[in-house]
Amino acid sequence: MTKHFFSDTSVLLGRSLRHIMRSVDTIVTTAIMPIGMMLMFVYVFGGAIDTGSQSYVNYQLPGILLITVASGVAYTAFRLFLDMKGGIFERFQSMPIARSSVLWAHVLTSLVANLISLVVVLVVALIMGFRSSASLGAWLAVAGLMILFTLALTWLAVIPGLTAKTPDGASAFSYPLIFLPFLSSAFVPTATMPGPVRAFAENQPVTSIVNTIRDLFAGQPAGSDLWIALAWCVGLLIVAYGFAMNTYRRKIS
């Protein structure tokens, strides 16, 4: 069964990746909005925001990376919706393949596409002046955290992809995710926020993830934020995976 799962997922992943390669514009589109935000915040608002000795492009990049992923998973929900409405799932059910491999193919495709978008955004940030004193280990830690975050949001995206009634409904779930970094430490220090907003910002998942990535890029120890970020990502991943698989089983039963 395990052998079947891996081989079936590999074949279906190849199918999904071929679709992505035929429409590279989706990856480019995913990166355009975060890059536009990065340009606006650095060159329009950055001079008015006090981030101490740290350059503003360095300060806001972690938040931009999270927004990139939140934008990218909307396409996962959209592609999944099209497969559901196009009868692809019914066709796969008539074949001797592991049923969960269909979802995993979409999830891994999302991971690949989002990693490409993140690299594009990072290259633009380097051109804009982003610099890091992080060690190889710190870079690997950032990559690991971003992969975990992407998987968590992708499994969350699977749920509307399976249940939405319209294409817009499938991708609209990502709007709150894109907005969430603006109510965190991603673009301004939380100390400058009014009391209730500050309380929310300091205790929501994006702040701990952003702070962790920012510290790792700066070559500093991440401290307790790292464990809080990991707890949020793993917790969301487990819950989203459980709900997604339960929804999928009900859809194909």
Q: Which segments in the chain show pLDDT lower than 70? A: 1-9, 11-12, 15, 17, 19-28, 86-100, 252-253
The secondary structure of the chain in percent helix, strand, coil, rounded to multiples of 5, reads 80, 0, 20
| Cβ count within 10 A of residue 168 | 10
Q: Which two tokens stand for residue 127?
A: 């051109």
240 neighbors 160 (Cβ within 8 angstroms): no
75 neighbors 30 (Cβ within 8 angstroms): yes
Chain position carrying tokens 């009868």? 87
Helix (H, G, I), strand (E, B) or coil at 222: coil
Report the pLDDT value the prediction gives residue 21, as an integer from 0 to 100. Answer: 65
Report the pLDDT value the prediction gives residue 95, as an integer from 0 to 100. Answer: 59
Tell me the pLDDT tens digit for each residue of 108-148.
Answer: 988 988 998 999 999 999 999 999 999 999 999 999 999 99
Residues 6 or more apart in contact with residue 15 via CB below 8 angstroms: 105
Query: How many Cα neighbours within 13 Å face the side chain of 76?
Result: 32
Distances (CA, A) of 46 to 38, 41, 54, 210: 10, 5, 11, 17
80 neighbors 106 (Cβ within 8 angstroms): yes
Report the pLDDT value the prediction gives residue 83, as an integer from 0 to 100. Answer: 73
Distances (CA, A) of 229 to 115, 136, 156, 206, 243: 19, 20, 17, 8, 21
Q: Cα–Cα distance between 101 and 6 in angstroms, integer?
A: 8
Q: Which two tokens stand for residue 219?
A: 């070559």
- For the chain, what are the domain ranges? 2-252
